[in-house]
Amino acid sequence: MNRINKLFQEKQNNILSIYFTAGHPTSESVVPIITELEKQGANLIEIGMPFSDPMADGPVIQQSSQVALANGMSLKKLIGDLSEIRQSVKIPLILMGYLNTVMQYGVEKFCKDIAEIGIDGVILPDMHLEVYEEEYQSIFEKYGILPVFLISPNTTEDRIRKTESLSKGFIYAVSSSSTTGAKVGFSDENEAYFKRIHDMNLSIPTLIGFGISNKTTFTQVCKYQSGGIIGSAFIKAVDGSEKPEEKIADFIKTII
């Protein structure tokens, strides 16, 4: 069983997923960050593949991508850095980035190589459902890589149901239609959207991302879905540190 499916089978609530950009804040911080996040209680980790034009991301993640690229991070280096990660880390690991990066690497080679090092899933926000279904689904399934698709407040019910039909792990519910970034709290409008998704009784678990930065916002999303995804707030917490892993325990304490 894929580790993502196993996680959601064993834990239905308060799942904490942390996103960070590979190569930020240092070129060699990928493995120390992952190892410490697992130790401090993260249930799932999304590892960002840095990209020069991350259009779905806010300024914090965009800046982290620039730093990572300047530090020499690439998809090839990232896969090399993670080559022995499964000797110590047991929780699900997902790569997140943009389709262009994967296409340049080669989609089948990408799926094969990341499966070999123990990556469980991939989030590509710009990979449309139809493109996945027509061109890549058979490749993903061949190597056991689960695709994670995004929905937003503007996504129609029909589109959400199609997303549900193609999803094998979980659905990433974007909290708002803007780019990523931390918020102080969610509005009544946000909560109405969370409740609407909850009331659809989807067959696939849902995690909410964008705007979660503290215990208050994490608790808000966990009322309606299986858990939350934190990115910008975590990146801010480790930004500029030579040993980012030393900041993780204090950060996690502000969330759970």
Q: How many CB atoms lie within 10 A of CB 71?
A: 17
Dihedral-angle region of residue 140 (phi above 0 means left; psi in -120 to 50 means alpha; beta otherwise): alpha
Rounded CA-CA distance 241/126 in Å is 31
List 38, 57, 81, 245, catalytic entry: 57
- The sheet carrying 171-174 orders its strands as 146-148, 121-123, 93-96, 44-48, 15-21, 227-230, 206-209, 171-174, 150-151
Q: Has 46 been annotated as catalytic?
A: yes
Q: Check 10, 36, 38, 46 and give the catalytic one.
A: 46
CA–CA gap between residue 147 and residue 169 (Å, rounded): 7
Note if 57 is an active site residue: yes
Best CA proximity match to 20, nearest among 249, 239, 220, 218: 239
Dig out the tokens for 20 from the structure.
Answer: 């960070």
Q: Residue 17 forms beta bridges with which residues?
A: 44, 229
Residues noted as catalytic: 46, 57
